[in-house]
A and B are shown apart, each in its own frame.
Chain A
Amino acid sequence: MSDKLKHQEGRRKERLDRGIKVRSDGVYAVSSWREMAFLVSPRLLLIVGLLAMPLAFMPLPYWQKVLSIICIYSLLAIGFDFLAHYVGLVSLGGALYIGAGAYISALLNTELGLPIWASIPLATVLGGGLCTLLLWPCLPLRGVYFAIVSLMFPLLAGRIIEALDVFGGTDGLIGLDGFPNVYAEQYVLIIALLLCLFGLRRLVNEDVGLVFRGVMDNDQAVKASGINITTYKALGVFIAASLGSLGGACLAHIYMWAGISQFALDFSIIPIAATVVGGGGTLVGPVIGCLILVPISELLRDFGTLRIAVYALILMGFIVFKSEGLMTFGARKYNQFEHWVEI
């Protein structure tokens, strides 16, 4: 008898989540510390990891800035993921959301003299509302048509500000209040990101989340159920746009400046790339995608224009070889962990 077989006498391999799966599917009925740890530890890893990052990057001020940018892209990316995989609208309007949040927050801060703690929340809501109003006529569009139209808005907004020379024109709005210190900046963003992430995850599994998914899968049946689908699409856009505007408002206060470059296409494209890398429909995946892609993008700055080429290769690799995304892949592997049990 081989050593391996002898090893198996009186016991067998069992998946770590077997007990949880057997007792209930979806409703977590946990009965031991080990099961609770199995369920909680990935979430805890994300929360503690994100909260610890500003402290870990203390000696590296440059990377502290990068962390803030990661959070802003993550806010955009979970908004994109929510809109694309739970409402069925592929939105390339990320730059519009950022720009709207940045300019509104800048105007509130410089023109009305509102303090930073008022201008950011106000810009979040007003920016979300403004973007929803702008996109409202496009809501009946689907798929690539909505994507194209939503991409037009940030391009248009930048050119209009430039041509009409309003809101500071090409110079932008300057003289915004900054965050009191770099930790306030980072913890505001990280806590906002965590709240939005877990809040959205809760939302999509509530009854209203099922309505959103109904609008995506099967809008005719939702109409036949007496529900106005335009209202729900608008609500979805409002949620995603508010997340983006929150990021944009923070961005403006971080740089103490709001300008046309906040309508840059990066804000529309990187969230999509992050969603592809992280795994669409998982909500946490895009955050992981941003945690990977944004630092890579920073590291590649030394390569000059080759940066885009390397970036493109990484993305192509992910799309071709791991199109399900890291989070989906990781979650599957995590649930397949086995351990020996006595029988």
Chain B
Amino acid sequence: MSAVNAQPAAQDQQPLLSVRGVNKTFGGVQALAEVSFDLMPGDILGVIGPNGSGKTTLVNAITGFIEVDSGTVTYQGKEITGLKPHKIADKGLTRTFQVMRPYYSLPAYKNLIVPLFSPRARRTGGWRGGGKMGSRDTVAVDILEEIGFERESYVPYKAASSLPTGYLKRLELARCLALRPEVVICDEVFSGLSMSEMASMVPLMEKLQMEGITLIMVEHRLRELFRLANRVLVLNFGAKICEGTPSEVMDNEQVKEAYFGSEEVYSYV
């Protein structure tokens, strides 16, 4: 466990994001069943579950990309259920997409012009901006350099269509960071990456946490996730079956049953 994990959120703090009894059905399939959880400021919350267990649906429900059937999502003390996605992003609750959605025809840094043009980025000045933003191009290249696009080898200037998956995953993150977010929901940032790409992604996520960004990470890569997360939520068939620290989750019998079958959880981790 890294040192970051050892700092539990203070008990008396208000949750930053709180999800209560969220339900969603897709034509008879219960994609989300009474899911509730709290996200404390500064947390890294991992969300795991077998394929089709409703992880991405949960992300979509929180960020307004789908309408929930019932239940509430509260962010910073205000209910955001049913708000349009751009309104939710405007409040600083941002997400990445599991299937990367860059603007392929543009150079990488030009991809960040769109988020930097948004009302929120104009207010905040982009990642670390103090409400002021100079040239959007410069801010975009700065953000990309911070998250691992090597400026010396002109990676930020390359066409998004020519970049490998690792950079595209970072570009997705950069799109969120350009808004100067409070919360970033990462939908499988580790999937499809090589071992070395993943190894460099872990410190990046730790850096974001250090900067005060609260993270929700939806993942299949348990080894990396359990190093980062201080709480883990396990979904199965749309229902929350367990929530706790990584070690609690690993020891939970139900999780082993549902998620790993009969095999020993530690063989994966």
B240 contacts chain A at the CB level, 8 A cutoff: no
Contact partners of A222 in chain B: CB under 8 A: 86, 114
B interface, how many residues as a size bin? 20 to 34
A221 touches B114 (CB 8 A): yes
Q: Give, as a whole number of angstroms, the nearest-CB distance from A219 to chain B.
A: 9
A208 contacts chain B at the CB level, 8 A cutoff: yes
A223 touches B114 (CB 8 A): no
Given A220-B101, A224-B63, A226-B90, do A214 and B85 touch, yes or no (CB 8 Å)? no
Contact partner of A213 among B103, B116, B119, B178, CB < 8 A?
B103
A227 touches B105 (CB 8 A): no
B228 contacts chain A at the CB level, 8 A cutoff: no
A interface, how many residues as a size bin? 10 to 19
Mask: chain A, 218-236; 1 = CB below 8 Å from B; 0 = not: 1011111111110000000
B95 contacts chain A at the CB level, 8 A cutoff: yes
Contact partner of B113 among A210, A218, A220, A224, CB < 8 A?
A210
B86 touches A220 (CB 8 A): no
Contact partners of B119 in chain A: CB under 8 A: 226-227
A165 contacts chain B at the CB level, 8 A cutoff: no
B104-136 contacts to A, CB under 8 A, are 104-106, 110, 113-121, 136
Given A221-B175, A229-B86, do A211 and B103 touch, yes or no (CB 8 Å)? no
Contact partners of B260 in chain A: CB under 8 A: none
CA distance A221 to B187 in the complex (A): 13
CA distance A220 to B95 in the complex (A): 11
Contact partners of B101 in chain A: CB under 8 A: 218, 220-221
A228 touches B86 (CB 8 A): yes
Contact partners of B65 in chain A: CB under 8 A: 220, 223
Contact partners of A227 in chain B: CB under 8 A: 86, 114-115, 117-119
Contact partners of B114 in chain A: CB under 8 A: 210-211, 214, 221-222, 225, 227
A-B contact pairs, 12 of them (CB 8 A): A207-B117, A210-B106, A210-B117, A211-B113, A213-B105, A220-B97, A221-B101, A221-B102, A224-B63, A224-B89, A225-B114, A225-B178
- 8 nearest A-B residue pairs (beta carbon): A226-B89, A225-B115, A226-B118, A223-B85, A226-B90, A221-B101, A214-B114, A210-B113
Given A207-B113, A213-B103, A223-B84, 8 more A-B residue pairs with CB atoms under 8 Å apart are A207-B116, A211-B114, A213-B105, A220-B65, A223-B65, A226-B90, A226-B119, A227-B117
